[in-house]
Structure 1
Amino acid sequence: MPPTRPQPHRSLLALAALVIAVALFGPVRAMAAPATSEPADPAAAGSEMTGGKAAVLGLVEGVTEFLPISSTGHLLVAQRLLGIGETDATKPAADAYAIAIQAGAILAVVLLYFRRLRSMVVGILGRDPEGRRILTGLVLAFLPAVVIALAFERPIKEHLLGAGPVVIAWAVGGLVILLVAPRWERHAGGRALETLSARQALVIGVVQCLALWPGTSRSLVTILAGLAVGLSLGAAVEFSFLLGLVTLGAATAYEALKDGSLMLDAYGWFNPLVGLVVAFVAAAVAIRWMVGYLQRHSLAIFGWYRLGAAAVATALIWAGTI
């Protein structure tokens, strides 16, 4: 009997389970501890933000959201460098702002993938089986991350939203892209997105939970998971973008309902609007560039970039800048 070829998605699932256990269940005791941080102060938070800083954060969000380099990590470092959200009193508004401007990146995906979204809507009506199949896959891939995120939101924010965890994730992700991804790209099944099964979508969804560790990059893990289950690189990238539309849309809506009023009290309407518009334009440009680039090249450039970002962030930590 010929030896069976190892299935990469099984190792991805095992890694996802390990990281979730270490990152989330370890600090779960903190959920029962009484809060000791100072109350949020919208006035203090508002004094930290300017129109220029809002635009810079929007640019960082838009460029990095769908590239496999982690928008959360970049926004965290950018906020530190700009002096935003440096205290417990100002951090809630800054965190809410960082999530709210994701709406700009979401709108960019809606614009660029409108035909695909339309086919999914038609699929709901029973007139496009392929669109309905993709929509079903998105729903299945979305569910695992939302369950874990809602269950462990507090320990994630308290223990992983720091420069140290981000640097680790940047470095590990860079090494994965350079050492592991090339083999998966060579052995990828080359299957079109329309062939994605419910089981494969669920695998991608479970692996997406890895991105709950800031700095990991939701785009990176979902693209790699797509390759692991047999999709072509182009199909894996498209599914990652569409899944990001669902996942980020839910996160943005949740944050808007939970802390949106705090953000508006601190920053008003102008600064969030500036960040959203800049994020929209930057994301549209970044998505179009990435799709075109990956038609001729591998993911390697993103691996080298992540290692460079980890090195720069480490130097900033040692220098006491962040």
Structure 2
Amino acid sequence: MWEIIVAFILGIVEGLTEFAPVSSTGHMIIVDDLLLKSHKLFSQEVANTFKIVIQLGSILAVVVLFKSRFVDLLDLKKEKATGERLKLSHIIVGLLPAGVLGLLFEDYIDEHLFSIKTVLVGLVMGAVLMIVADWLQPKTPKTETVDQISYKQALAVGLFQCIALWPGFSRSGSTISGGVLLGMSHRAAADFTFIMAVPIMLGASGLSLLKNWSYFTIDVLPFFVTGFVSAFIFAFVSIRFFLKLINRIKLVPFALYRIALAVVIYFVFF
């Protein structure tokens, strides 16, 4: 029973933080240490596989929320949309920079950058970037909706996404900040960030899942299913809430939260 409770809690943390600009990595460090490592419920391999499973739950929430958008991007509608709109080519352009760098430096990042110290640096520096973005944002955004994003903006946001290869920086924090600095509204930048995150996260999670498929055994299946469902539900709720509020509250509140989280992690682990 305790395993199910732990799976539910970890799913909540994943769902609430994966797409918010607060660094899911920073949060998972705390709950992973307090719940998985301290209680030694499963082997490290099973624990790592579980993290992939709950991330897929969060990704599914984005797919459901943006279902009509993905249908449009893949040209699955019988009636084609006319006028200015986001295209699949925009997403590809945005994905290229981080995709290339991620493939080139994946092993180095895994071996040298996944530590509590580097995550702390990422949390604080990401917070600074978000505060600067709000401070320097144009008074009147030239790109109000995701359908108005240019290829130049898509590429530039993709370059900002490269910063998130540093653990703790947060993919959404980096890309939304970059979009705002490039003249997008907070909502347009957030929409583009979430849509762009699906293929790159789905690809990475899918490959990891194939490598760890042998750990899907009957005894851990309830643990995995609980975490997946929990992550999906809370990601769905948090993303909807975030998208409704982002143009009003902007990024500074999230930046301050990140700094507070960094302080908590520092005192817990140092």
User: Which ranges of structure 1 fall in alignment gaps of 5 or more residues?
Assistant: 1-48
Matched-pair contact (CA < 8 Å) for 1:85–1:92: no
Q: 2:260 aligns with which of 295, 302, 308?
A: 308
Q: 1:296 aligns with which of 245, 248, 253?
A: 248
Q: CA offset at residue 58 of structure 1?
A: 0.7
Matched-pair contact (CA < 8 Å) for 1:144–1:206: yes
Matched-pair contact (CA < 8 Å) for 2:129–2:174: no
Q: What TM-score does the superposition give when structure 2 sets the normalisation length?
A: 0.89
Matched-pair contact (CA < 8 Å) for 1:211–1:217: yes
CA RMSD of aligned residues (A): 2.6
Specify the alignment match of 1:249 in structure 2: 202
Q: How far apart are the structure 1 equivalents of 2:76 and 2:92?
A: 14
Specify the alignment match of 2:3 in structure 1: 50
Q: Whose Rg is larger?
A: 1
Task: Indicate whether 1:156 and 2:87 are aligned.
Answer: no
* Larger RCO, structure (CA 8 Å, separation 6 or more): 2
Specify the code of the residue in structure 2 equivalent to 1:82.
L
Q: How far apart are the structure 2 equivalents of 1:295 and 1:214?
A: 26
Q: What TM-score does the superposition give when structure 1 sets the normalisation length?
A: 0.76
Give 3-state SS (helix, strand or coil) of 2:157's partner: helix
Task: Indicate whether 1:60 and 2:34 are aligned.
Answer: no
Matched-pair contact (CA < 8 Å) for 1:70–1:216: yes
In the TM superposition, 1:118-137 aligns within 5 A as 118-122=71-75, 127-128=80-81, 133-137=86-90
Specify the code of the residue in structure 2 equivalent to 1:287.
I
Specify the alignment match of 2:26 in structure 1: 73
Task: Indicate whether 1:195 and 2:148 are aligned.
Answer: yes
1:154-180 deviation per Cα after TM superposition (whole angstroms, max 9, x unaligned) = 221121111111111111112222244
Specify the alignment match of 1:33 in structure 2: none
Give 3-state SS (helix, strand or coil) of 1:269's partner: helix
Matched-pair contact (CA < 8 Å) for 1:58–1:279: yes
Q: CA offset at residue 314 of structure 1?
A: 0.3
Q: How far apart are the structure 2 equivalents of 1:201 and 1:179?
A: 20
Q: CA offset at residue 268 of structure 1?
A: 2.6
Q: CA offset at residue 148 of structure 1?
A: 1.9
Q: CA offset at residue 306 of structure 1?
A: 0.3
Q: Relative to structure 1, is the Cα distance of residues 167 and 222 closer, same or farther in structure 2, using a 3 angstrom cutoff? A: same
Matched-pair contact (CA < 8 Å) for 1:123–1:132: no
Q: How far apart are the structure 2 equivalents of 1:125 and 1:92?
A: 45
Q: How far apart are the structure 1 equivalents of 2:119 and 2:161?
A: 17
Give 3-state SS (helix, strand or coil) of 2:107's partner: helix
Matched-pair contact (CA < 8 Å) for 1:189–1:227: no
Specify the alignment match of 1:209 in structure 2: 162
Q: Which deviates the most, 122-131 or 170-179?
A: 122-131
User: Which ranges of structure 2 fall in alignment gaps of 5 or more residues?
Assistant: none
Q: Relative to structure 1, is the Cα distance of residues 274 and 179 closer, same or farther in structure 2, using a 3 angstrom cutoff? A: same
Q: Relative to structure 1, is the Cα distance of residues 144 and 229 closer, same or farther in structure 2, using a 3 angstrom cutoff? A: same
Q: How far apart are the structure 2 equivalents of 1:110 and 1:185?
A: 31
Q: Relative to structure 1, is the Cα distance of residues 131 and 86 closer, same or farther in structure 2, using a 3 angstrom cutoff? A: farther
Q: Relative to structure 1, is the Cα distance of residues 102 and 85 closer, same or farther in structure 2, using a 3 angstrom cutoff? A: farther
Specify the code of the residue in structure 2 equivalent to 1:204.
V
Specify the code of the residue in structure 1 equivalent to 2:239.
I
1:215-256 deviation per Cα after TM superposition (whole angstroms, max 9, x unaligned) = 110001111122233222111110011111122111211111
Q: How far apart are the structure 2 equivalents of 1:77 and 1:67?
A: 17
Q: How far apart are the structure 2 equivalents of 1:72 and 1:185?
A: 30
Residues paired across the two proteins, number: 268
Following superposition, which runs of at least 4 residues in structure 1 exceed 6 angstroms of deviation?
A: 123-126
Give 3-state SS (helix, strand or coil) of 1:295's partner: helix
Specify the code of the residue in structure 2 equivalent to 1:104.
G
Specify the alignment match of 1:139 in structure 2: 92
Q: Percent identity?
A: 32
